[in-house]
Amino acid sequence: MTEEIKSRLEQIRSGKVPKGYRQSPSGVIPRDWHDAKMSDVTEEIKETAGDKEYETLSISAGVGFVNQAKKFGREMSGAQYSKYTVLRHGDFSYNKGNSNLYPQGCIYRLNDREEAAVPNVFESFRFDLLNGDYYEQLFVSGYLNKQLYSKINHGVRDDGLLNLTGKDFYGCHLPVPPLPEQQKIAEILMQCDKVIELHQCKIEEIKKLKKACLSKMFPKQGNNVPELRFPEFSEAWKQRKLGEIVSQKISNGLMNRPGRNALLVKHINVINMYTPDKIHVDDLEYFDATESDLKKCNVEPGDIFVTRSSLKLEGIAEPNVLLDCGRFVFDDHLMQMKLLPDYFSPFVKVLLETAMVKEQFMAKAKTATMTTIGQNDIASSHSLFPKYTEQKKIASFFEVLDNLIALHQRELEEMQKYKKALMQLLLTGIVRERLTVVQRRIFLRWSYINNEIIGEAVRPLRAEKISD
């Protein structure tokens, strides 16, 4: 960010209007941008479904348009169907329903269908002369939230919708950049979306590969050798209960309590269990512990941790491994496994993710408000284990996949933050310079990810056999 842009941003944040800008109902905008009410630049859609058949959609906050029957389990339109509003490709709808994610309601654009019908309580509209891509990004950024908040008569109606009239909604103001600039801004932000989507696709691609590998590189029920293994190994795997591979009884951690001690140490919590490669100690928060707490937990590198509860059955007993040195305690909602020397902790972490072991956990789990599993349930579950050298080899293979997943997750989060920052700068005209350079950088990032090859990770096992 140049010094000029930094100065411009600081001035706006402090309530000043930089040179070349002006105050408008939309906020501070460039002098050559226009300001307009939505009613002046949009057309309210009034076409109704009548007796014609259209797919009926609703809007789900954070997702967008969804099929009503799939969302609610049944068709919801009923006798109101004939009054539903007909949308065409590129049209917008504002759902006045509030949510934690969108307390002022949310606006989505119909992009994946040529036509559909939506409830007539939505405010539906289209842009005829302006760039819809630009305004889609503007709405996604939450640009209207402040204006909507000021217009909403707080509270909700009997039908669960916000108290906001159509007149008030279409009275909201929008910035109107010159059309070429609208196009350029939209292209940049849509390029960001492509990079984000590509990271998401890569994550799913690698997870799919990992699932296939888990299925073929660990023995199936009734077998004592896996379908696919490294060529230097041939011995049968031996069955053990999980309680037989630990050096001490599987134990719970510390219950949360008010701080009262001076000893601050890092605390392994449930939220730290969902990184794909290992527990990241830099992400851990501090816990006000005692020396007795440290002694009780006795956390060491190589310890396996398993979640005790989950909202969903399939999420029970999520495993992760601590590989770093330090002074740690762990939460009561976790269980600790300290392994005997013949067992390699990164291998055991992967083994606990296999279908054979997960199915045992799910069969033993108890479901009420939450799904829970106990220490004895973990200890009594069993699996097959190879010799230590093969454990290390298998773990190294999965480490590559887990590191790739973690890398793409980190880069996905960074790209999401980058786009959010760009939206604040571009959609308001704070940044107008060097747009082509910004676009080029994003394109290069997209090209790099798109051409990334993960084949090297599976070469020792012949990738074609994994994908069969």
pLDDT of residue 458: 55
The values of phi and psi at residue 321, to 5°, are -130, 140
Q: What is the pLDDT of residue 258?
A: 67
**Residue pLDDT, tens place only, 283-336:** 999 998 889 999 999 999 999 999 999 988 999 999 999 999 999 999 999 999
Res. 267 pLDDT band, cuts 50 70 90 = very high
Query: How far apart (Å, rounded) are the C-alpha atoms in residues 187 and 181?
Result: 10
Instruction: Note the pLDDT of residue 454.
Output: 55
Residues 116, 463: Cα–Cα separation, whole Å: 43
Q: Over 80: is that where the pLDDT of 339 sits?
A: yes
Q: Is the pLDDT of residue 49 over 60?
A: yes
Is it the case that residue 455 has pLDDT exceeding 70?
no
**Per residue in 364-399, pLDDT tens?**
999 888 899 999 999 999 999 999 999 999 999 999
The answer to whether the pTM exceeds 0.85 is no
Residue 414 burial (10 A CB sphere; 0-12, 13-18, 19+): exposed
User: 386 near 237, Cβ under 8 Å?
Assistant: yes
Cα–Cα distance, 315 to 320 (Å, whole number) = 13
The mean pLDDT value of the chain amounts to 90
Task: Show the domains of the chain with their CATH numbers.
Answer: 34-176 (3.90.220.20), 238-385 (3.90.220.20)
Contacts of 83 (CB under 8 A, 6+ apart): 48, 49, 120
Q: What is the DSSP string of 251-298?
A: EE-BPP-----SEEEEEE-GGGG--SSS--GGGPEEEEE-HHHHHHH-
How many CB atoms are located within 10 Å of the residue 248 CB? 10
Q: Which one, of 243, 275, 269, 251, lies nearest residue 339 by Cα?
A: 243
Query: CA 225 to CA 383: how far, in whole Å?
Result: 12
* Burial class for 29, CB neighbours closer than 10 Å (0-12, 13-18, 19+): buried
Among candidate residues 6, 370, 43, 406, the one with its CA nearest the CA of residue 206: 406
Q: Confidence class of residue 441 from pLDDT cuts 50, 70 and 90? A: confident
Percent of the chain with pLDDT over 70: 93
Backbone angles phi and psi of 148, in degrees to 5: -60, -40
Comparison of pLDDT for 336 and 4, the residue scoring more: 336
